[in-house]
Structure 1
Amino acid sequence: MRPAMSDLPDGIRPLTPAEARTRRKRSVAIALTLGALVLLFFVLTIAKLGPQILQRPL
């Protein structure tokens, strides 16, 4: 349920459906980019450590 205009603080207005879709798409794009960076850093770290990381004593 969307708040009525009188319930919002001064200077704040509810988003239009088009603005909400745009914000949602931007949020998804940022999340995917962040996930890709995390995956890239993980892969690079494993590659830098090399295969001997699996043969270390526990």
Structure 2
Amino acid sequence: MTQDNDLMSAREGLPTGETVKLTPEQEGARNKRNIVIAWSLVGFMVAVFAITVVRLGQTAAAGAGA
């Protein structure tokens, strides 16, 4: 076989039909982690928006006085 065929025959990324059943504790931990990630993303977006508004306000104030 050539190297290209070896790469194509790898099972990585192919569906196997196997599933993982999480325990209720694991599901709860996953949900809490997802909530923390979501709130962190929202906080980051608010911070970027606030910084942008402040910087635009400073630029407009500097330009209006000139």
Which TM-score tier does this pair reach, normalised by the shorter chain? 0.5 to 0.7
User: Percent identity over the alignment?
Assistant: 30
Provide the residue aligned with 1:39 in structure 2: 46
SS of the residue corresponding to residue 14 of structure 1 reads coil
Q: Deviation string for 1:8-31 (max 9, x for gaps)?
A: x33x32111000000000000000
Q: State the TM-score, normalizing by the size of structure 1.
A: 0.67
Count of aligned pairs = 44
- Give the unaligned 5+ runs of structure 2: 1-16, 62-66
SS of the residue corresponding to residue 50 of structure 2 reads helix
4+ aligned runs moved over 2 Å, structure 1: none
Amino acid at match of 1:24: N
Larger Rg over CA atoms: 2
- Give the unaligned 5+ runs of structure 1: 1-8, 54-58
Provide the residue aligned with 2:27 in structure 1: 20
